[in-house]
Amino acid sequence: MNKTRLNTIILVSLFILSLFLVSQTLLNEDINLFKSIDKSNKYNSRDLIASKMIVPQRILVNYSKKTHTVLSPGSEYDIWEDTREILDDIFSYQDKTVAEIKKEEFDGLNNKKSINIEFADKLPIELFAGTFNAPMDGTLERELMDSVKTIHLNLEDENFIVLSDGQKYVKVSNIEYKDNRLSKMLEEIKESKDFINYWPSDMSLGTKADIYIPYRLPKDKKDIIVENDIKISGSIEDDKNIDKIAQGFFDKDLSYLRKVVDNSGVIIYMYNQNTGLLVYPSGIIEYSNTLNEKENERDIYRSLNALADFIANKDRLPENAYISNIEEIESENKDKGYRFTLTYNIEGKNVYINNRTSEENTLINPLVAEVYGDKVINYKRFYRDIIVKENNNYGDKRINPEEVIEKNISRIKEDFMLEDANISSNVQTQLYQDIITSIKDISLGYYDKSSSYYKTPLIDVWIIDIKNNKYIFDSSTGDLIDIKSLE
């Protein structure tokens, strides 16, 4: 047998052997080769949760009693990333000390060099533990703390952190972490030309000290224009872009789906009697499914992993998205699950989207999902893409929140008195003080009227939460734009 023929036989034999091995792999029910290949190009669900969903709403950097600043996780200085690495190691210390402290002691910690990681909503303790590799031992047992909303990381003298849910304050000490890089970063922030000093509101408004207001207002404002991420071209019924979105949600070719367009312009895709997708003319997408198995218990980490996998495989997250609310829910059949709400910010400012399609006085949440066990039952989202972002200097025109309140005090008083019939209208001094002490939060943000599918400019606004209302004011004029209920 000549050498060429021998080589050919060897190659053919190897090819046949490879086909045999592949066929055995595909026949093995425990391994899905195509799923593995698909997953290799997707987010790892835990990475998605840790880096894209479990993200603070803001980071308060403390230097002293009169010097603070507020940053967002997506800012130039990635404090959150460095803090996450520290948190991943802290709970491995065997001899750590855990003790509850008073609120007064916690408030005093903000007068020293430190960082407060502040989440939009309380993270259930199981989710916090799973995210940061923290064992559910004496540190994080439910008897000690149900949830975590704020993480205080000390950067002066000793190493310790404080976990808080807003009512309890638990100090974890006798631990070690390297804070040289963070301390250096904080000094760079303080020395930068863009540094904005925030004062606690007890110094500026004479109210509680856990609200921070910029002492020197930011000079730069962005001209930002957004549009729906769902682009409708031509006839809705024949729109290929929307068809592709539907195919992605079902992981099926269009030939497997039933498509109907109703009289209002809503496109309905059905895979079977239990699974459907609605695409509204406004740009809202709503996916629904049914629960086949009973879910008698909740598992927050399991459900959030399911949502992360769903997003990774069927949809996307906006930049700088984070969980803003976690709610325990129960179906009519007594199945137990969670409702997750996600929002996002642009340039460190939260985006508030007006719900122009609703008669109720509400805002649109960019993403709301209901998950039972490891199954996403309802998924509703409304995303807007940035198409223009330009710097402009409006430093002289932006007014401070104290002036905004003064300009709109008559309207605020009316609302305040409607909510509390016991308030006497002639006690003006006391009423004003009651309003000031009822302020829950003050921040800069962006307001999206969503008045158009395309090319909608965002309005730079002051967001002031007073008692049960969220007031939205134009930051340049102080004019009231909108009022939303906090309840």
181-225 residue pLDDT tens? 888 999 999 998 888 899 888 777 766 657 888 877 766 677 889
Q: Which of 285-294, 342-351, 422-431, 455-464 has the lowest mean pLDDT?
A: 422-431
pLDDT surpassing 70 at residue 472 = yes
Q: Do residues 469 and 486 touch, judged by C-beta distance below 8 A?
A: yes
Dihedral Cα 98, 100, 104, 107, nearest 10 deg: 50
Question: What per-residue confidence (pLDDT) applies to 480?
Answer: 95
Residue with the larger pLDDT of the pair 362 and 36: 362
User: CA-CA distance, 201 to 210, in Å (whole number)?
Assistant: 7
Q: Indicate yes or no: pTM above 0.85.
A: no
Q: Do residues 133 and 124 touch, judged by C-beta distance below 8 A?
A: no
User: CA-CA distance, 418 to 396, in Å (whole number)?
Assistant: 35
Which uninterrupted H or E stretch holds 163? strand 161-164
Exposure pattern of 99-133 as b/e (b: 16+ CB <10 Å)? eeeeeeebeebbbebbbbbbbbbbbbbbbbbbbbe
Q: Are strands 285-288 and 375-381 parallel, antiparallel or unpaired?
A: antiparallel
Summarised one tens digit per residue, pLDDT across range 119-178 is 999 998 888 887 877 766 655 666 678 899 999 999 988 899 999 998 999 998 888 888
Q: Do residues 399 and 412 touch, judged by C-beta distance below 8 A?
A: no
Q: Average pLDDT of 80-88?
A: 85
Q: Can you give the C-alpha Rg of the chain in angstroms?
A: 27
Dihedral Cα 303, 308, 313, 319, nearest 10 deg: 150
User: CA-CA distance, 190 to 281, in Å (whole number)?
Assistant: 47
Q: Are strands 285-288 and 367-372 parallel, antiparallel or unpaired?
A: unpaired
**Half-sphere exposure for 411 (CA within 13 Å, toward CB):** 17
How buried is residue 151: exposed, middle or buried, by Cβ count under 10 Å (0-12/13-18/19+)?
A: buried
Nearest CA to 152 among 240, 22, 61, 66? 61
User: CA-CA distance, 79 to 61, in Å (whole number)?
Assistant: 10
Q: What is the mean pLDDT of the chain?
A: 81
Sign of the alpha-carbon torsion through 470, 201, 61, 459: positive
Number of H helices, E strands in the chain: 13, 26
Q: Which residues contact 309 (CB under 8 A, 6 or more apart)?
A: 45
Q: Confidence class of residue 36 from pLDDT cuts 50, 70 and 90?
A: very low
User: CA-CA distance, 411 to 30, in Å (whole number)?
Assistant: 65
Residue with the larger pLDDT of the pair 432 and 359: 432
Q: Confidence class of residue 51 from pLDDT cuts 50, 70 and 90?
A: low
| Secondary structure of residue 80 in the 3-state scheme | helix
Q: Average pLDDT of 26-40?
A: 32
Question: What per-residue confidence (pLDDT) applies to 436?
Answer: 85
Task: Give, as one character, the DSSP assignment of residue 192.
Answer: S
Q: Which of 46-55, 107-116, 195-204, 273-282 has the lowest mean pLDDT?
A: 46-55
CB atoms near residue 427 (< 10 Å): 11
The most distant pair of C-alpha atoms in the chain lies apart, rounded to whole Å, by: 113
CA 102, chain centre distance (Å): 29
pLDDT surpassing 90 at residue 48 = no
Q: Which of 112-116, 358-362, 395-399, 422-426 has the lowest mean pLDDT?
A: 422-426
Exposure pattern of 297-334 as b/e (b: 16+ CB <10 Å)? ebbbbebbbbbbbbbbbebebbebbbbbebeeeeeeee
